[in-house]
Amino acid sequence: MRIITVVSGGDAPGINAALYHLALQAVRHGDTLLGALGGFPGLLNERIETLEQGALLPWIGLAGTYLQSSREPVLAQPAGRAQLAEVLARHQVDALVVFGGNGTLRHIPPLLAELGLVSIGLPTTIDNDVPGTEATLGFFSACDFAHRTIDGIRATGHALQGRIFTMETLGGDTGYLALEVAHSAGADVALIPEMSYDAAHVAARLKAGIEQRGQALMVYSEGLPGKQALLDALPVLAGIRIRDTRLGHAQRGSTPSHYDRWLAAQMARHALTSLHEGRRSGVICVEGGRIVVRDSLIGMPPRQPDLHLYNWINALPQGDT
């Protein structure tokens, strides 16, 4: 079987590990593994190379993606889809393995199926917002990166008491990343785009943190509405200066964690096994801590943050948003 891998959308830690494990599995199955450089635009331009274990091995512990990616919607038009079919036929490709986030995996596998093409999708985003899966490749590495930063913040907070710290995570318009980090870090406040907030309550929570342990921490997502106005208001409401840290895109380039490397290996193994079992379309997902293969994400409701957890972190009544 000749299989081509394509990375679509944002990069995430663990993609290179998955590519290596795909190459490893391809050898065991007697397959040829190809890679498209630069996402679907690169594939249409026939920027294709054979992926070998030896070449990918030095990349296994690196973030980003050896293949490079793209968000250009080249398959949105009939001409692009026709060109895709021609390129795959010319290179005798039997199946595609597509790395992508929520947008990619909702739309690309069904489109490929309509074209009669065989594909398996791997959920790859630090945002962890893909419906149907509890975990996406890269999410836990991004959490680890945030915790390393928080460890530094906590050290400073211990040395110089009476400070309020705020930290912005990535996450786009979703708050899974900020909520997970805030919970496990024991933050005083977690603010995410999906939930409303009251500035006075936030200030009171942060002041209480100062009184209880000499420092306070608020973790918020980059997509939080009115974030700058809030950051400007908090020093006035709390009467304490705010020290703000923004992780930015360095968070997406974090070193892959053990869990993401494990997940990469599992996803690669299940992807190639599914193809050899005759599956023509599917998405690799995590359910109850186990790897499952879903036929499609069509019709699956968007993931929703844990309201109970949000309210608990922020000391809000249960059910109050």
Q: Is 162 within the bounds of a domain?
A: yes
Give me the pLDDT at residue 318, please. Answer: 81
Shared domain check, 211 and 151 = yes
Q: What CATH number has the domain bearing residue 103?
A: 3.40.50.450
| H-assigned helices in 117-257 | 139-159, 176-185, 199-213, 227-238
**List 11, 31, 127, 129, catalytic entry:** 127
Q: What is the mean pLDDT of residues 170-175?
A: 96
Is 212 within a domain? yes
Residues 36 and 101 in one domain: yes
Alpha carbons 109 and 131: distance in angstroms, whole number = 14
Report the CATH number at residue 180: 3.40.50.460
- Identify whether residues 40 and 125 lie together within a single domain: yes
Tokens read off for 155: 């050290």
* Mean pLDDT, the chain, whole residue set: 96
Write down the pTM of the prediction.
0.94
Contact 177, 126 (CB under 8 A): yes
DSSP-derived letter for residue 234 is: H
Identify the domain containing residue 55 by its residue range. Answer: 2-138+256-294
Same-domain status, 224 and 283: no
HSE of 114 in the Cβ direction (CA atoms, 13 Å)?
10
Annotated active-site residue 127? The verdict is yes
Does a structural domain hold residue 310? no
Share of the chain above pLDDT 70, in %: 99
CA dihedral 71, 72, 75, 78 (to 10 degrees): 160
pLDDT band at 321; cut points 50, 70, 90: very low
Residue 319 confidence (pLDDT): 59
Could you report the per-residue pLDDT of 7-45, keeping only the tens digit for each? 999 999 999 999 999 999 999 999 999 999 999 999 999
The dihedral formed by the CA atoms of 3, 6, 7 and 9, expressed in degrees to the nearest 10:
-140
